[in-house]
């Protein structure tokens, strides 16, 4: 039976280890200027607080996008498919550095030729968890050439998909609430990187 949003908020908030350091996010205004910090889970409770994030899109040499299915144990959007890597910089950490760091931590492979691909701002409630993504998201595109060693605490599985295969997956599999928005925003940079008009 689905739980109520209030129950979901209690369960997600209780995930924090009382003895651990809180994970802090960088709050920003509508222009992306830093205005403060907030604890990670609290920033995602409705109505959400606008914070800095990043999304990475890495491709193999055949022009296929590396996708990941988020681990079932994640507090937010578990078990759904999404782009190569996404997350939040530490307060004061450059988004490019954070994107490269988290890609290595989650997938065990360093991005190659990664570059900035703009920003996108969105507000996406997640109906399953009751959490809200209010994000000022820095986009990055690049290549992946090393062998993947996914962290099972972060990634349940991975797949490479061309544009047609991705479209089929989106019709039949659950994807993160923010995925359509970030894909649309990053497509011009993807076409430039891959040299393919199919994207």
Measured CA to CA, the distance from residue 89 to residue 99 in angstroms comes to 8
For residue 106 the two structure tokens come to 């989650």
Query: Considering only CA atoms, which of 94, 80, 113, 138 is closest in space to residue 192?
Result: 113
Burial of 18 (0-12, 13-18, 19+ CB in 10 A): exposed
Q: Which of 86, 154, 157, 165 is catalytic?
A: 86
Measured CA to CA, the distance from residue 185 to residue 165 in angstroms comes to 19
For residue 113 the two structure tokens come to 């030729």
- Residue 83 burial (CB count, 10 A): 22
Q: List alpha helices for 39-162, DSSP H.
A: 40-43, 95-107
Is 104 considered catalytic here? no
Q: Which residues contact 31 (CB under 8 A, 6 or more apart)?
A: none
Q: Which of 26, 106, 133, 135 is catalytic?
A: 135
Is 135 considered catalytic here? yes
Q: Which residues contact 123 (CB under 8 A, 6 or more apart)?
A: 48, 132, 133, 134
Residues with active-site annotation:
86, 135
């Amino acid at each position: 039976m689905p739980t109520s949003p209030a129950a979901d908020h209690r369960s997600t908030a209780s995930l924090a280890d009382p003895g651990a350091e809180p994970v802090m996010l960088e709050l920003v205004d509508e222009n992306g200027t830093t205005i403060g910090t907030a604890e990670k889970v609290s920033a995602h409770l409705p109505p959400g607080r606008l914070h800095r994030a990043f999304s990475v899109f890495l491709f193999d040499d055949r022009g296929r996008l590396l996708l990941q299915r988020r681990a079932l144990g994640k507090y937010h959007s578990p078990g759904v498919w999404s782009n190569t890597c996404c997350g939040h910089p530490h307060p004061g950490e450059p988004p490019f550095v954070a994107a490269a760091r988290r890609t290595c931590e989650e997938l065990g492979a360093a991005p190659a030729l990664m570059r900035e691909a703009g920003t996108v701002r969105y507000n996406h409630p997640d109906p399953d968890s009751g959490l809200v993504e209010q994000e000022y998201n820095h986009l990055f595109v690049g290549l992946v050439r090393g062998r993947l060693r996914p962290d099972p605490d972060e990634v349940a599985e991975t797949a490479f998909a061309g544009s047609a295969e991705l479209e089929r997956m989106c019709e039949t599999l659950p994807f993160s609430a923010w995925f359509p928005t970030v894909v649309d925003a990053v497509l011009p940079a993807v076409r430039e990187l891959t040299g393919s008009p199919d994207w």
